[in-house]
Structure 1
Amino acid sequence: MKLSFNFAIVALALPFALSAQSAVTQVAEPEARQDLGALKQTAEQFLRTQASGLPGEVKVTVGSIDPRMKLPTCTTPEAFFPPSSKAWGKTTVGIRCSVPSPWTIYVSAKVQVHGDYVVAAVPLAQGQNITQADIAKVKGDLTAMPAGIITDASQAIGRTVANSIRLGSPLRQDALRNQQAIQQGQAVRVIVNGAGFSVSSEARALNNANEGQLTQVRTTTGQVISGIAKLGGIVELTY
């Protein structure tokens, strides 16, 4: 009888012991943590993609992530630009996770683009028309240059200097004007192009206009029409 009683106690205690052991095992099992190195790679790949359209060789440097940061594992971390961040120079990249556990972190980074840009090979005077001999190409970090930097010589040749430019200074889009094509009072030739036809007539310019600008002319019949100014005293209309 005593033996049977002992067996009964063991039988009753066994499920509780197994349950307790299972609970201990579950508590002891560590939660999976996100690989921080993989997050740096996510940020770097994102920045390279964003800079893929920039002219030149792209160099991306991503700052370190605090190793004390313990983030739950994310299956598909997503990189993004926070407001006011940019794709080059010193910038910040956000990385977020939606599932299984939402979190967001921010990583500092630097994107450099080494390529050619156009500088003045000689001092350029205000009003001067730029020729190939007036400019040169040099290499440098384009992200450290002023906004609107000119990287292709064709963007400068034939244009007019808005303000004097010193020797060796980078050329910017806003520092140049298109060459004057039409002068007020000048006799011009109006060319009208359409589907399967092209006609021309004489007219007189009513205002000054640089190449590519919209200008008005008065025809020999007194009609005022608008067209695009072209070099050589031409005003072009397309229908």
Structure 2
Amino acid sequence: MNSSRPVRPVSSLPWFQALLAWLTWLLLCVVAALSSGAQAQGLPVQTHAQLQATLQQWLAARDADTATAQGMADAQKWQNPQDASPQVEVIMGELDPRLKLAPCSRIKPYLPRGANLWGRSRVGLRCEEGARWNVFWPVTVKVWAPALVVARTVPAGTVLEATDLTVARVDLAGGGSPAQRDLTEVVGRTLVRTLTQGAEVREADLKVRRWFSAGEPVRLIVKGSGFQAAASGTALGHGDEGRCARVRMDTGRILCAQPVGDGLAELTL
């Protein structure tokens, strides 16, 4: 005897009802998100022009401080202080135009840790009253001041003479190496690469000076807080400018000091 079992509709099964409920909830979430996004587009935003005005005002005060400090240092090296006065030029980049920021009642510009207003850099802008956001505005800072340039094209390997050099205003912040401004620090140095006429002379363009060689006597100046002392020793390695040189003192102690002149090294405690 065959018995037939009633067939339940698919829509009445528990798992199907749960799936249908979940799909309905998901659809409602998508609609709500699209609706809130459309409404958000109508909200007021902090315009980039407002941010730029705040940043420009902040940079103007910093530029004045930079120019004053640099000008006072330059006046000691140049006969006419007016010739040494640097000109600071700030070129502002742009934020991503797609960036939308909520309105802010108080915006604070600041320098991020490790950043300087020199060459390619960036300035932070943080909202401190109202919305909570923080952005970084790219800037390029140029500092125009007199420095040494070559008067003609000078090939690599040339030992520079005074006649090879002249003075022109250059961007001190434009290279990864300091521009040379003291004639006495350049004459007699050897170029490591060819410089075309008018190119500024930077520290990286010059062969490192060797102030003493291994085995030669060295006079060591030891500096500390409120004191300075002199001692003598023997170089255990070559004394190249900008590199630590090991010096054995007459007492037998070995120290690492910075070569600063012919047979001279300094150690700051």
What is the TM-score with the length of structure 2 in the denominator?
Answer: 0.49
Deviation at 1:198, TM superposition (A): 5.3
In structure 2, the CA distance between the partners of 1:82 and 1:190, relative to structure 1 (3 Å rule), is closer
Deviation at 1:208, TM superposition (A): 2.5
- The whole-number CA distance in structure 2 between the counterparts of 1:93 and 1:191 is 42
Is it true that 1:45 corresponds to 2:57 in the alignment? Answer: yes
In structure 2, the CA distance between the partners of 1:175 and 1:100, relative to structure 1 (3 Å rule), is same
| Seq. identity, % | 20
Q: Secondary structure at the match of 2:106?
A: coil
Q: What is aligned with 1:6?
A: none
Q: Are the aligned partners of 1:204 and 1:217 in contact in 2 as well (CA < 8 Å)? A: yes
Q: What is aligned with 2:247?
A: 216
Q: Are the aligned partners of 2:107 and 2:126 in contact in 1 as well (CA < 8 Å)? A: yes
Q: What are the equivalent positions in structure 2 for 1:180-191 lying under 5 Å apart?
A: 180-186=210-216, 188=217, 190=219
Q: 1:161 aligns with which of 175, 183, 190?
A: 190
In structure 2, the CA distance between the partners of 1:165 and 1:215, relative to structure 1 (3 Å rule), is farther
Q: Relative CO higher for 1 or 2, CA cutoff 8 Å, sep ≥ 6? A: 1
Q: Secondary structure at the match of 1:79?
A: strand
Is it true that 1:76 corresponds to 2:106 in the alignment? Answer: yes
Q: Secondary structure at the match of 2:58?
A: helix
- The whole-number CA distance in structure 2 between the counterparts of 1:131 and 1:162 is 11
Deviation at 1:150, TM superposition (A): 0.8
Q: CA deviation digits over 1:7-62, x for unaligned, max 9?
A: xxxxxxxxxxxxxxxxxxxxxxxx99868755322111233455553753123355
Q: Which amino acid aligns with 1:46?
A: W
In structure 2, the CA distance between the partners of 1:46 and 1:138, relative to structure 1 (3 Å rule), is same
Q: CA deviation digits over 1:80-138, x for unaligned, max 9?
A: 5689987456666554434334456676655443333332335265373x555443221
Count, aligned residues: 199
Q: Are the aligned partners of 1:63 and 1:107 in contact in 2 as well (CA < 8 Å)? A: yes
Q: Are the aligned partners of 2:180 and 2:202 in contact in 1 as well (CA < 8 Å)? A: no
Q: Secondary structure at the match of 2:129?
A: coil
Deviation at 1:172, TM superposition (A): 2.2
The RMSD of aligned alpha carbons is: 4.8
Q: CA deviation digits over 1:138-168, x for unaligned, max 9?
A: 124445x332141522684367335143243
Q: What is aligned with 2:201?
A: 171
Q: What is aligned with 1:22?
A: none
Q: 1:126 aligns with which of 157, 160, 183?
A: 157
- The whole-number CA distance in structure 2 between the counterparts of 1:104 and 1:192 is 48
Q: What are the equivalent positions in structure 2 for 1:3-82 lying under 5 Å apart?
A: 38-49=50-61, 51=63, 52-53=65-66, 56-62=86-92, 72=103, 74-80=104-110
- The whole-number CA distance in structure 2 between the counterparts of 1:85 and 1:196 is 34
Q: Which runs of 5+ in 1 are unaligned?
A: 1-30
Q: Which runs of 5+ in 2 are unaligned?
A: 1-42, 71-85
Q: Which has the larger radius of gyration?
A: 1
What is the TM-score with the length of structure 1 in the denominator?
Answer: 0.54
Deviation at 1:79, TM superposition (A): 2.7
Is it true that 1:100 corresponds to 2:130 in the alignment? Answer: yes
